[in-house]
Amino acid sequence: MDNITVIKNFMADNGLKYLLVNSTNEFLVEYNTLEENSRYKLTKFSGSTGEALVTPETIFLFVDGRYHIQADNEVDHEK
């Protein structure tokens, strides 16, 4: 089961409509390795700045202007 499915199942089980996923790790450290980066685990976007908003239907990735092309290249747009 992939991370997106796990997150969406968690949201459904807990009655959540939205979930904000940032790049911090479990200790809220902002600058960490990709293996500890929550946003990367979900979206595969490796830039240092960005947030993901998960809804039951889709995932929105918000990045600043420096990362638009990188995000387009790294993110699976089908999920």
For residue 66, name the pLDDT band (cuts at 50, 70, 90). Answer: very high
Burial of 17 per CB tally in 10 Å (0-12, 13-18, 19+): exposed
In this structure, what are the phi and psi dihedrals at residue 19, rounded to the nearest 5 degrees?
A: -140, 125
**What pLDDT, in 10s, does the model give residues 6-57?**
999 999 999 999 999 999 888 988 888 999 999 999 999 999 889 999 999 9
- The pTM (predicted TM-score) of the whole model is 0.85
